[in-house]
Amino acid sequence: MKYLIRLICVVITLSASTTLNAENVCLLPVQRINLTRTWLDKSEYESERGYEFPHVTFVIDMPTGNDVVSCAVKKWIAACCGDAHGQYKNDADKLIDAFVARYVEDYETLLCDYNITKVYETNTMVSFEFNGSFDCDGCAHGTWYRYGMTFRKSDGKQMGKSMFKKGYDINAIAIEHLKRESNYKSNKQLKLGLEPYKSSLKNVVPRNDPWIDKNGINLQYCQYEVGGLGVMPCIILAFHKDPPYLSTEMKELVRQSKWSRSWNAATFIDGGKQFI
Could you give the CA distance from residue 230 to residue 102 in angstroms, rounded to a whole number? Answer: 26
Give Cα separations from 269 to 22, 230, 251, 260 (angstroms).
9, 32, 15, 11
pLDDT at 2: 38
Taking only the tens place, the pLDDT of each residue in 155-167 is 999 999 999 999 9
pLDDT at 199: 86
Of residues 85, 54, 66, 79, the one with CA closest to residue 28: 66
Of residues 56, 66, 65, 60, the one with CA closest to residue 78: 60
Taking only the tens place, the pLDDT of each residue in 233-274 is 999 998 878 899 999 999 999 999 886 544 443 333 323 333
Question: Which contiguous run of DSSP H or E holds residue 90?
Answer: none
Query: 111 forms bridges with which residues in the sheet?
Result: 55, 135
Task: Name residues of the chain where pLDDT drops below 50.
Answer: 1-22, 261-276
Could you give the CA distance from residue 125 to residue 1 in angstroms, rounded to a whole number? Answer: 44
Query: 130 forms bridges with which residues in the sheet?
Result: 116, 147
Question: Which contiguous run of DSSP H or E holds residue 95?
Answer: helix 92-103
Q: Where are the beta strands (DSSP E) in 64-142?
A: 110-121, 125-136
Could you give the CA distance from residue 62 to residue 167 in angstroms, rounded to a whole number? Answer: 35
pLDDT at 211: 98
Could you give the CA distance from residue 123 to residue 170 in angstroms, rounded to a whole number? Answer: 27
Give Cα separations from 207 to 148, 176, 234, 258 (angstroms).
12, 17, 12, 30
- Domain architecture of the chain: domains with CATH: 30-158 (3.30.565.40), 162-270 (3.90.640)
Question: Which contiguous run of DSSP H or E holds residue 73?
Answer: helix 68-80
Could you give the CA distance from residue 170 to residue 244 in angstroms, rounded to a whole number? Answer: 11
